[in-house]
Amino acid sequence: MLARKPWILGLCLVTGTCAGFVALAIAAADELVLPPIAIALFSPGVRVAEFLVPGSHESLGWTFGWFLRIAIATNALFYFAIFIFVVYLAERLFKRTAKP
């Protein structure tokens, strides 16, 4: 279904990346205020990056740069999967209601 419409995949990829970036910005700004479970639910990239990055002992710039790359990529993948699932459900719903 989705393979016939590659622009939907592209749109979900772009919106997933934007949503992941915004979720990371919100999580970074409100990390001290929000409980950790709330941050992990809407920005899983922060927890994945916290798990992966401290294993290496490099410069602060290198560590922070890779932290951001991992967090943004993980959030983008997370929101891409959510948006693709929503598109899939919407296509199934509209196909089902289109048949008499």
pLDDT tens digit sequence for 54-88: 666 777 777 888 888 999 999 999 999 999 999 88
Whether 20 maps to a domain, the answer reads no
Dist CA 100 CA 91 (whole Å): 16
pLDDT confidence band for 99 (50 / 70 / 90): low
Is 72 contained in some domain?
A: yes
- Residue 31 pLDDT class (50, 70, 90 cuts): confident
- Answer yes or no: pTM beyond 0.75: yes
User: Is 9 among the domain residues?
Assistant: no
Inside any domain, residue 23: no
Which are the contacts of 89, defined by CB distance < 8 A and separation ≥ 6? none
Asked whether residue 28 is domain-assigned, the answer is no
Rounded to an integer, what distance in angstroms lies between the CA atom of residue 30 and that of residue 97?
42
pLDDT value for 97: 67
Cα–Cα nearest to 24, from 77, 97, 90: 77
Domain around 85: 35-100
d(CA 21, CA 13): 12
Residue 17 belongs to a domain? no
| Cα 58 to Cα 40: distance, rounded to the nearest angstrom | 26
In a domain, 18, yes or no: no
Number of domains in the chain: 1
Give a yes or no: residue 77 inside a domain: yes
